[in-house]
Structure formats: structure tokens, C-alpha cells
Amino acid sequence: MEPTRSRVPFVRRLAVPGGRDGRLMLVVAVIDKIGTGLWTGAATLYFLYVAHLSVAQIGLLMGLSGILGIAGPPLAGRLADRFPVTRILLGAQLARGAALLALLTTDDYALLVLFSALGALPDRASSVLTKLFAARVAGPHRIRYQAIQRTAANIGWAVGAAGAAAALTVGTTASYQALLLANVASYVVIGALTLRCAEPPAPSRVVAGQSSPTGTPRTPSGAPAKAATPWRDRRYLAFTGSEIWLFLDDSILQVGFPLWIVHATDAPVGLAPLVLVLNSVLVIALQVPLSRFGETRAAARRLLVPIGAALLTGGVALAASAGGGPWFATGAVVLAAVAFTLAEILHSIASWELSIALAPGEAQGAYLGVHGLAQSAQRSLGPVVVGIAVGVGPFAWPVLGATLVAACLVQHRLVRPTTVAEPRVDAPAH
């Protein structure tokens, strides 16, 4: 009987939190990222060779889409506090597919900008809704679920990107359109799977167990309780602001490394795509094992110290890669890539837990929607910051690393346990 007992903990560690619905949403994440990987790798070339846009037009189109997309997370979060999250997510998935399919109907630049922008809004909203669903369906095991989901998403992205690379060797209009339609089909499939998911239990909105006959939260005096809002929560807004800077690792890896390798080092140009491959491999291998170090608010707060150390190490290594020959430059770039990837993995764990732990249950969707602004803002700000760093030269990377360390220290202070209890409405004494 002893071997059976020893196997139980291992089996439980392999289990996906959230039961059937948790597993279904993992399948959704994989299919979603396969479709996204297929299209993202071809989107720029589609606009260039099929829609016949100039490079400047493509840049403006993507920039305007990103601006509208920023509104997606807070809008989705607010709706999710009022309506079933699965139905809102289904609507966002179908809206993404419809906006993408509309691109096939025109070559008019204004319409292409409009359809791209309309697709960016539900696209950014979907990330918040998926996170909210995961937090509710996995409950106290949300950190492990997030790690499994992120690993699955990276696998899906890699499969999609490989499929795009194979299709793009053909380089015909039909091949670009086929990749677009494959992504549209992925939205239809994940929409059907989302329909099969039960609505996860939402945090209670009842204050101190009192409510009106219609279920509206009430204070002890009988007046309607004032709903919590992230827009008046200075600590949460400051936390979200620091997150914008800490999400810069995404732009550093995807934009900074290729530019730096080509313009400032003697490393081979072929190293640039390999950095992204290394990033994906490390995320797939380490995300789940490292998730156990951030399963509570206190543990997530402690992760901010190694995150800062990894970011500074990566900045110093990138600066060093500008000196020496090809072998030295290659080794320094690889070290920097490993350091920034480790920071990315740990930050995803800490960010996930802290963004939920700091949000009151009755307004969880609204708070996570505001937190989603951090990634959206970084997507617009990040490439600009990284481009400036590349232009300035080696000295810029350690300085940028130091500012990231400072952001970690600021956040470490922001999320510390408060000495005064959070305001709440108590039931009347008896």
C-alpha cells in the first residue's frame, strides 16, 4: 500500500486545477495561440503584398489599432462584474474573428485601419477575461493554473509560428489569405469550446451578509453600499503604473534583441530568431516548476527581489555584448536572454497573484481590467523606449536595468501588508 500513497501527491501535482472547465479553457488557450501564431507571423506581409500598403501606412495602422485596443481591458473587466464572464469572452472571440475576416473584403486603407482597430479592442479584452475566468475556476490554485496555461499558450504559439513559416515559403496571395482564414477558424472553434464551459463562481458582492430583496449590497444603515472602483484606489493605480515598466521585458526580447544584435554586436544575425526560440523553450520548461514560489501574496512580493536582479543582470550582459568578438558577443547575448526570460517568468507569476490579491472580490473584474492597461500601454511605449536604448548605445542597458530594479523596489513597498486594516462595512453589533 505504501507505493500507492506515495503516488497520490505526484498525481495531484499533475492535475489541472479547475476540473473539466479548467481543462477546456487550456484547450482554448492552445488553439487561440496557434491561430494567433499563424496570423501574426504573416500580418505585416499581408498588408504589404496583398493590401499593397506602404511601410509607413502599416506602422500607422498598427499604432492606431493599439491605441483603441487600450480600452479593451477596463471595458471587459467592468462588464465581467455585471454579466457572465464566459458569455462576454465568447462575444470577444467572435468579434475578433469577424474583424479579421472583414480584412478580406477590402483594400481601402481607411477600412483596413477601422477593421484592425475594431479587432484590437476585443483582442485585448480577451486576455483580461481569460485571466478572470482562470482566477475564478482555479480558486486558491490560480497560480499553478496560470503557469500551466502560459506554458500551453507558448506551445500553441510555437506551433502556429512554425505553421506560418512553412506557409510563407509559398508567398502567394492565397497563402496569406489561408493563414488569415485559419486564424478566423480558430476563433470559431474556441467560441464553441467556451460555450461548453460552465460559468465559474464569482466572488460575493454582498457586504457583511446584508442585501436588499433584489440582492443589492447594503450598508448597516440600509443604504446601498458604494461599489469599489480601481480609479479611486491610489495604491492599485500606482501598482499598475509600475507594472507598465516591468512589462518592458517583452519589448526588450522581441524588439531590442534583434536590433541590438544587428546594429551593435559582432554576434551572427541568425542569433536573433534563436533568442526567441530560447525564450519559448525556457518558458515552457520553467513556468510551471517556478510557479510554486508565488502562490501567496507574500511569496509573490518576495519574487520582486530576484526579478530586479535578473533584469539588471540582463542589462549589464547586453551592454557587454557590444565588446569582444563574435563568440564573446554571442555568449553575452545568450546570458542576457536567459536573464530577461527568467525575469519574465517570475514577473508573470508575481503580477498574476498580486493583481488579484489586491483587488476586492466584488470589483475583481474592474480591477483586473485596469491592471490589463499595463500590458496594453507597454505595447505602445515599449518599442519606443527600447529603440532609444539601442540608439544611445551600451551605457543605456545598465541604466534601463537600474530603472527596472527601482520599479521592483517601488512595487515591493506598494504591495506590502498595510498596518491599518482595509476599510470595510461591519455588521451591526448584537
Please spell the DSSP secondary structure of 268-289, one letter per residue.
Answer: -TTHHHHHHHHHHHHHHHHHHH
- pLDDT, residue 334, reads 95
Give the three-class secondary structure for 5. helix
Burial class (CB in 10 A: 0-12, 13-18, 19+), 35: buried
For residue 425, the model assigns a pLDDT of 34
**218 pairs with which residues across the strands?**
224
CB-based contact 38:164 (threshold 8 Å): yes
User: Would you give the DSSP letter of residue 73?
Assistant: H
What does pLDDT average to in each consecutive run of 10 residues of the chain (430 residues)?
Answer: 40 65 90 88 82 82 82 87 90 95 93 92 88 84 86 87 80 88 95 91 48 40 59 91 92 86 87 83 90 89 95 96 91 95 94 89 84 84 86 93 96 80 39
pLDDT of 203 reads 65
Quickly count helices (H) and strands (E) in the chain: 17, 0
Cell numbers for 373: 492597461
- Render pLDDT for 40-99 as a digit per residue (tens, 0 to 9): 778 878 888 888 988 778 878 877 887 888 888 888 888 888 889 999 999 999 999 999
Read off the C-alpha cell for 143.
497560480
Q: Which of 120, 61, 63, 128 is nearest to 364 (CA)?
A: 128
* Cell numbers placing 71: 480600452
The pLDDT, as a whole number, for residue 97 is 95
Cell of 316: 549589464
Cβ within 8 Å of residue 385, ≥6 positions away = 248, 251, 400
The C-alpha torsion from 398 through 400 and 405 to 407, rounded to 10°, is: 170
d(CA 19, CA 214): 32
Q: What is the pTM of this model?
A: 0.76
Question: Could you give the CA distance from residue 285 to residue 157 in angstroms, rounded to a whole number?
Answer: 15
Q: Which of 367, 19, 351 is nearest to 201 (CA)?
A: 19
Closest CA to 326 of 253, 256, 270, 387: 270
CB 85 within 8 A of CB 365: yes
Those residues with Cβ within 8 angstroms of residue 410's Cβ, 6 or more apart along the chain or in another chain: 238, 242
